[in-house]
Amino acid sequence: MNIIIVGAGKVGYTLAKYLSTDGDNITIIDNKDAALEHINNNLDVMCVKGNCTSLKVLDEAGIRGADLLISVTDSDELNMLCSLASKKLGVKHTVARVRTPDYDEDITLLTEAVGIDLVINPEKAAAIEIAKLIKYPSVCSIDNFSDGKVNLVGFKVSDDTALEGKKISDITFIRGNVLFCGIERNDEFIMPKGDYIFHKDDRVYVIGEHKDIQNLFNKLGKYKKKVKRAMVIGGGKIGYYLAKIIGEVGVNCKIIEKDLNICEELNNLLPNSIIINGDGMDEELLLSESLLEVDSFITLTGRDEDNIIGSLLASSKSVDNVITKITRDNYREIGKTVGINSIVNPKLVTAYKILRYVRTLRSKKKCSIENIYRICNDKAEAVEFVVGNDTTNINIKFKNVEFNQDILVATIVRNNKIIIPTGDDYLKANDRVIIITKNMKLLSIDDIFSGGGRYYEL
């Protein structure tokens, strides 16, 4: 595909990095020399300097032959204008980053009248991710499939899980209808079999229905109580969206923000939340605002350092569910090293959402990908396909089918029923099937078949 990215910031760079390695022809437009030089020195992409609303610049970037334009500059209006101009010039698909809350009510107008195919609000997307983490206290990640029916949850093996030293086959009696589908250890992704032995600090991925995973966590001692009270440090856009989202499901939210003007604005926008004007790094203030009684503590300031320090403080006070916003890649690793497990990076959330959209466009014929998430620091993917009438090997038991290497058929959703497959299971037309794989280039369900892979086994 011929893809033009407008904006060479962190999101633009991340998109160019991943898309260029997938074999697409990438051109990136920006008016800053330093940003383009950084990309030129590190990526194999074409760089064009200039204003993205200039016809001359767009022509130099190859706009008339482009399949997709992704506009991720810091200006919402510029992103919308660039998308509109691109559609007029014949670009088939456009994506725009639009982060101003006022535009939330105009998404239909943006997608239909302006012609933007995908509108992304990074702060709202990050808030949605955080809300999912609040759903499962003490987990590292959570992704949804099949319209929320299936969850893929990552958690760390710690002293309170009673998993260390046990084999997967040893805990079959408590597993229920949940699959242990992946292990991250020492930055390596492992698709475990029944003889796999859990080690402390392993990051374990399980997949299944919410109630079944919740039941497993109860038995492991990880799901201690439902989150009812949350404390948010930082009253920016993410904090605003998060308070709205979790407030709708009955979570009482308290936001601590330094800026008095922001506090007054939030007080008007969030009548059901408590807004405190103060320093979220002040331990005395946090304790006076009932830190010890909260179920979830989320740090969302504009400084990674403050977010890490605040999270460590909450963890030291035995807050069960601590979630940290970290934007710098090296700080993410530092955060993990010091024991911060639930980390959200808004720029990566945005980039991955766009990458999922691009993946569905890449196939020459209509692609059957419904959802796709990268896990284990991009070393593996969880991909959801819809099975078609012409799919290879339908109605044939898995034990009679050969799969490609590094393929795990993790879950089948059929008529709203969640199936953890065995060798006697099979695919039927209209099934939704979730695949765990190290092959980052799957485009069709047929790509999983050939030889050397396996279905789930104990």
447 and 363, same domain (yes or no): yes
363 and 313, same domain (yes or no): no
Per the domain annotation, does 163 fall within a domain? no
18 and 98, same domain (yes or no): yes
Per the domain annotation, does 219 fall within a domain? no
Spatial contact of 193 and 168, defined as CB atoms under 8 Å apart: yes
Per the domain annotation, does 174 fall within a domain? no
Domain boundary, last residue among 104, 120, 136: 120
373 and 286, same domain (yes or no): no
Report how far residue 115's alpha carbon sits from residue 168's, in angstroms, rounded to the nearest whole number.
50
Domain boundary, last residue among 271, 291, 319: 319
372 and 315, same domain (yes or no): no
**Which CATH number covers residue 438?**
3.30.70.1450
What is the rounded radius of gyration, in angstroms, for the C-alpha atoms of the chain? 23
Per DSSP bridges, beta strands 25-30 and 46-49 are parallel
Report how far residue 91's alpha carbon sits from residue 83's, in angstroms, rounded to the nearest whole number.
9
Domain boundary, last residue among 319, 343, 378: 319
Question: Which of 423, 407, 453, 434 has its CA nearest to residue 207?
Answer: 434
Per the domain annotation, does 213 fall within a domain? no
Residue 390 has a CB neighbour count (10 Å cut-off) of: 8
Number of domains in the chain: 3
Report how far residue 36's alpha carbon sits from residue 29's, in angstroms, rounded to the nearest whole number.
8
What pLDDT, on the 0 to 100 scale, is given for residue 451?
A: 57
Question: Which of 124, 129, 67, 71 has its CA nearest to residue 99?
Answer: 124
What pLDDT, on the 0 to 100 scale, is given for residue 161?
A: 73
Range of the domain at 398: 359-455
Residue 25: phi and psi, rounded to 5, are -90, 115
Helices (H), 233-377: 237-247, 260-269, 283-288, 304-316, 329-337, 346-362
What pLDDT, on the 0 to 100 scale, is given for residue 139?
A: 84
Question: Which of 395, 344, 373, 367 has its CA nearest to residue 440?
Answer: 373
- Going residue by residue through the chain (458 aa), what tens digit of pLDDT does each one get? 899 999 999 999 999 998 888 778 999 999 999 999 999 999 999 999 999 989 999 999 999 989 999 999 999 999 999 998 999 999 999 999 998 877 777 677 767 777 788 999 999 999 999 999 988 777 888 999 998 899 999 998 886 677 889 999 988 778 889 999 999 998 899 999 989 999 988 999 999 999 999 889 888 877 667 789 999 999 999 999 999 999 999 999 999 999 999 999 999 999 999 999 999 999 999 999 999 999 999 999 999 999 999 999 999 998 988 999 999 888 887 887 787 878 999 988 998 889 888 887 875 444 568 888 888 878 899 999 999 888 889 999 999 999 998 999 999 999 999 999 999 999 999 999 999 999 888 888 899 997 545 554 43
**Which CATH number covers residue 26?**
3.40.50.720
Per the domain annotation, does 409 fall within a domain? yes
26 and 113, same domain (yes or no): yes
313 and 418, same domain (yes or no): no
Per DSSP bridges, beta strands 141-145 and 150-156 are antiparallel
Per the domain annotation, does 207 fall within a domain? no
